[in-house]
Structure 1
Amino acid sequence: MVRQPTRAGVRDAAAKIARILPPTPLYVVRLGGADVAFKAESLQPVGAFKIRGAWHRLTALDEATRAKGVVAFSSGNHAQGIAWAAKRLGMPATIVMPADAPAAKRDGTLALGAEIVTYDRATGNREQIAGSLAEARGATLVPSFDDPWVIEGQGSTGIEAAAQMQDAGLPPPARMVTPCGGGGLAAGLALALPEAAITVVEPAGWDDMRRSLEAGWIEPVGPNPPPTACDALQTQRVSALTFDVLSRRGAEGVAVSEAETAAAQRWAAEKLRLVIEPGGAVALAALLAGKVKPEPGMLVLLSGGNVDLAAYARAMAG
């Protein structure tokens, strides 16, 4: 029987993470008559929330299993989270990464001591490559979202943010707006804060979670999806684990354009003094574009800040 992610697991993950990492900052901005809270996961040690799921997953392994290492596949943020956790635990880590991954993410993963195996995003199958490597080496395969421990770890973001909102005198989280690739963060948030509504945001043309939630079954990304700067959100198909959690919670989805995403990056730089990568800015983009309306108790996730400097400069220039 496949283990299911649980709220108890999210709380366990939050306790684990609180022992090794300080809370990421929470910014509050008045928008549309409501105080909106922005959770800056871009300021994690690896520049993204992925460190949470990686730590919860790898610390769940026994010593003998850790010694055999870990294999993951990622365009960069999950890669760095796994590499960071593996290094801290003394585990070998191998990451299957697309050849066109941003240099900052590739270099960050290498700097943490992980081995990188590249593939062609257009023609290769990262799951098959990673699965074969893990089987050959006897290592543990850790997907970026299709894993109950990873989902629980990402959900610790919500536990942390709710406590910060209470300390700031804000209402409890009533609606969470979050970037969504495979849905690991969104599903974790849904488990962490069961009383809050949830809106997932994806790049236009890559909004398979939105279409899946509307259809009631999993809809993959269609053929020839448009190019997007949101490399972290280029997931071809969500998983049953994440879809089931979000569909049971009645989650909604919206899509944002490339121009709306770049505008959100500029807003974050100007108003919050934060560097946010495209995939990390889509939830903010939905808010600024009027696709999600500000309301009391709104929590918006700024999920990552690992930018390609040249691309970021173009976004800042408008």
Structure 2
Amino acid sequence: MQRPHVSRLRRRIAILAAAATAVALSPAARSAAAPADPTVDGMFDVGGHELYLTCRGSGSPTVLYLHGAVFDPDVVPHRNALGIRRHLEEHTRVCLYDRRNVGRSETVDAIQQPKDMVRDLENLLEAAQVDPPFVLLGASFGGTLAHVYAAEHPDDVVGLVMLDSMVPDMLDIERYWPVKDERFKSLHRDDMFSTPERISHWKVLKHGSRYAGDEPAVPLTYALAGQDPWDQSGHDEWDARIMGIIHGYVDRWSPGRTVTLDTPHFMEVEVPEEIAGLVLDVIARADR
């Protein structure tokens, strides 16, 4: 049986969250060069294995959904965002995909490194001819990947929405968790060898930390899950610092803002319309 705080951390390392008020997409944000057939649904070779991608809607920027971590091999993670896409596809193009080893994508018999996740996404977008600009919608652990992808592709990304995500700055206060079994680092071997994705979340956070303070000059909205507060872990030192860590991270974006929703951490299927509204707001701010 997992200890209570390990269970809480696992929930944090998992899938989703966000929200707010819908805004109209400005005409200038729409692309006159949208692809003739923007619909995509299939498998694409990304270098020896295939990933599943589905896109609907038309226009620009393309909203790219990066799902959270997957611990149940029966989960098809891109499906978490189908409701969000239904609210967005009349405004712009929306693409969802499953990372290697999960959902409808193929399995690779190897440990993943952070660079593998980024390379898979780069190759997938190229193979499917999905062109920038992108607004990244990163859910939980997917927000950490969105941070890395945006930092490494600053010319391709015009905005981000992070849904109750882990951010690299959290490593600065990881020491306030118990040494064994509850820190990001203490879980990384189990993440690599026992979970479907076979990726160390600690390694991805470490990889992302190299870009701290060098985020691209694009807008970010970070959505907090009001029903699963980050500052109620039961560890006083962590709880006293974590919200400052999150707000400090958000403040480095251009502009950055936080919103709090009365929802649990796992919220894509709970509040898809609000999440779509957050995305549209970022698109509008990116166009100014």
Identify the TM-score tier after normalising by the shorter chain: 0.3 to 0.5
TM-score by length of 1: 0.35
TM-score by length of 2: 0.38
Greater RCO (CA < 8 Å, at least 6 residues apart): 2
Larger helix fraction of residues:
1
